Amino acid sequence: MVTAREIMTPGAECVGENETLVTAAQKMRDLDVGALPICGEDERLHGMLTDRDIVVKCIADSGDPSTVTARSLAQGKPVTIGADDDVSEALRTMEEHQVRRLPVIDGHKLVGMLAQADVALALAPDQVGDTVAEISE
C-alpha cells in the first residue's frame, strides 16, 4: 500500500486566514503554485485559495485584493486526505470532489500537498486514466 505521506510534497506553505489576497498572490508567485491552503492561527486548515479565486471572486467583482482577506474566500469544509491514507483513496476523493490537489493532514496539522500528478506517477496508468478524465470534466 502506497500512502499519501509517501508521495506528497511535504512542507506545504499556507496563506494565513487574515492575510490579504495580494499577499496570497505574492506567495503563489514566489512558490510558483496556483493554489495555497488557508490556515488559521490555530494551525488548522480552513480552506484552499486558488489564483482563479482571486481573479473571479475578488478582482472581477471590483474587490480590492489589498484589503480582502484569504478567510473571506474560504468556503465550506476543505477536502483533505489523511497522511496515512492509501493513494487509491486520494484518487477517489479527487474524483468525487473534482479537485486536482489535496491538502494532506496528520491529525489536524497540514503536512503536505498531494497533486493529481503525484498520484499519477505512483500508480499504474490503468488505475489513473479514468480518474483523471473524471476530475477534468
pTM (2 d.p.): 0.82
Domains annotated on the chain, with CATH: 4-135 (3.10.580.10)
b/e code 11-31 from CB counts within 10 Å (16+ = b):
ebebbbbebbbebbbebbeee
d(CA 117, CA 101): 9
Quick: pLDDT tens for 84-132. Answer: 999 889 989 998 998 889 999 998 889 999 998 888 887 777 666 665 5
The tens digit of pLDDT for each residue in 126-136 reads 666 665 555 65
| Structural contact between residues 101 and 73, judged by C-beta atoms closer than 8 angstroms | no
